Amino acid sequence: MSALVIYNGKIYVERGHFEEAVLVEDGIIKAVGSTEGILAAAPEGARRYDAAGRTVVPGFNDSHQHLQSVGEDLANIQLLGADSIAEVKRRVRAYIEKNQPAPGTVLHGQGWNQDYFTDEKRVLVRQDLDDMAPEHPLILERACGHILTASTSALEMAGITGDTKPADGGAIDLDEQGVPTGVLRENACQQVLCIIPPVTEEIMDDRLRLAMAHAAECGVTSVQSMDMRPGKWRRTWEAYQRVQAKDPTLRVYQQVNFLEPNEFNEFLSEGFRTGVGDAFLKIGPLKMFVDGSLGARTALMRKPYNDDPSTCGIPTMTQEGLDEMVRIATEHGCTSIVHAIGDGAIDMVLSAYEKVIKNGENPLRHGIVHCQITDMPMLERFKKSDILALVQPIFLHYDMTVVEDRVGKELASTSYAFETLRKLGVHESFGTDSPVEDMNAINNLYCAVTRKNLKGEPSEGFYPEECMDIYDAVDAYTYESAYASFEENVKGRIKPGYYADMVVLSQDIFTIPGDEIINTKVDATIVDGRFVYER
């Protein structure tokens, strides 16, 4: 039997309830209580960890992200935080200089955001990429993942010309001469991403381990991750099985992406559905998209954009197609969750769910990911049908700089309504959508509590009436995320019978001012009773 005792700490059990120590046996929490009592109950040979008065919380559970993409980003060209086109060029050239890829090798990066550029506030175009990497086909995805720019040679390799028809629910931008600018949007992105050659099993596994190590550094012990995609889902599932069989350090609940019935039915016919798997690797919900991102103006709005009346965004599915997929999932006992950012997209998803949810009972826990642009009647529909909200407070860091321009102040004032959702009694869980934003759990909590960007602006918070208190924020990141995966009885609390997934923090986030939360560090991360990270 393996045993661990954490003592002399401030152990968060639930609001108003803290203990000093916790006893773990074989990966399960056996008891919580006083330091004296737990040390006395500890079996001989148990590892003893002195928390030295520090705060211990349940492991953070990221309710929506893309772990495989996190590993790919860590291995590829990293553009998150680039503040100019010149800086993007510098990073691409530095990557080529360091890695020396052979001429003709397709290069890939993600993370640029034109709204952060200080030299020219515009999207990248193919000529920019041609200048960065003249000998390599180059694809650079925007931070949101909903638009990308491809170099001229990448477009040629993909066979994309001015006459190429974009995939349904996508767009290929053309200049005044009818020549592709290099910018592809939404479903059209795959028309150029397909030129990236598949990696070996060894590389896939190494990248997953790299991402899992980053999760441990962030205090994340569970992720609900959308990695299994059309045409690639078997290979991805097998990679996770290989990695988890050797040395599991992170619990993974797969959000499986299908947008049409044929491949989804094939997936179901092989016995896969929500709940299949074990404590470290499990099939979760069907994951779909119905729109894009606010920053790219591809989020689907009910009315034209305030700062671009020529568009309402891009629907990536029809209402009929969405209804059919939700119906199939429901009939097979599968949860559905849908990416919806604009109020037009959220309305579509609510309407689809209202066709299968009866009497306000949602036993399959269907949910909506992002839930950004909303009004009060829409929020009340969440509660009426008991629909889950899987939100990303860290999005405020960027979105508060554009949302009023995009949708107007009135609609912005009822959007990112995290506290209103909580008050309504909606099951609301936290994630980061990493690598769209970093997996950093502390920054996510800080944004939820203060509604400020990572520079501390605005001083009073962005629509501060939607600030959450730290207890509710931690619960949304732990217990409520566990609820989203039907694991609230074994995960998300430090109580007897629960998985021993815990995080030791450098500061007492429950008592310090909200502005100081951002300075908190993860000192240790424990998964299944084992230390997987120590600072």
C-alpha angle 155-65-69 in degrees, rounded to nearest 5:
40
pTM of the model: 0.91
pLDDT of residue 195: 97
- Provide the CB-side half-sphere exposure for 16 (13 A, CA): 0
Q: With a cut of 90, say whether residue 1 has pLDDT above it.
A: no
Domain residue spans in the chain? 3-59+499-534, 72-193
pLDDT tens for each residue of 261-303: 999 999 999 999 999 999 999 999 999 999 999 988 999 999 9
* Prior bond of 230 cis (ω within 30°): no
pLDDT of residue 205: 97
Q: With a cut of 90, say whether residue 8 has pLDDT above it.
A: yes
Q: Which CATH architecture has domain 72-193?
A: Roll (3.10)
Quote the radius of gyration of the chain (alpha carbons, Å). 23
pLDDT of residue 497: 98
Q: What is the mean pLDDT of residues 377-390?
A: 98
Pairing of strands 502-505, 522-527: antiparallel
Q: With a cut of 90, say whether residue 318 has pLDDT above it.
A: yes
72-193 shares the fold of 3-59+499-534: no
Q: Which helix (H) or strand (E) holds 37?
A: helix 35-41
Pairing of strands 138-142, 21-25: unpaired
Q: What is the mean pLDDT of residues 113-117?
A: 92
Q: With a cut of 90, say whether residue 29 has pLDDT above it.
A: yes
pLDDT of residue 481: 98
Q: With a cut of 90, say whether residue 89 has pLDDT above it.
A: yes
Cβ density class 306-315: b for 16+ within 10 Å, e for less: beeeeebbbb
Q: What is the mean pLDDT of residues 101-120?
A: 94
Q: Which CATH number fits domain 3-59+499-534: 3.90.79.10, 3.40.50.720, 2.30.40.10, 3.30.70.250?
A: 2.30.40.10
Strand partners, 277: 282
Strand partners, 139: 108, 150
Q: With a cut of 90, say whether residue 462 has pLDDT above it.
A: yes
Question: DSSP state, 250?
Answer: S
Is the model more confident about 251 or about 199? 251
Average pLDDT in the chain:
97
Q: What is the mean pLDDT of residues 385-400?
A: 97
User: With left for phi above 0 and alpha for psi between -120 and 50, is residue 315 left, alpha or beta?
Assistant: beta
Report the distance separating Cα 236 and Cα 44, nearest Å: 42
pLDDT tens for each residue of 32-66: 999 999 999 999 999 999 999 999 999 999 999 99
In order, the DSSP letters of 265-277 are HHHHHTT--TT-B
Is the model more confident about 499 or about 146? 499
**pLDDT band at 145; cut points 50, 70, 90:** confident
Q: What is the mean pLDDT of residues 420-448?
A: 97
Q: Give the whole-number percent of the chain exceeding pLDDT 90.
A: 97
**pLDDT band at 144; cut points 50, 70, 90:** confident
Residues 6+ apart with CB under 8 A from 456: 515
- Block residue for tokens 């360091």: 98
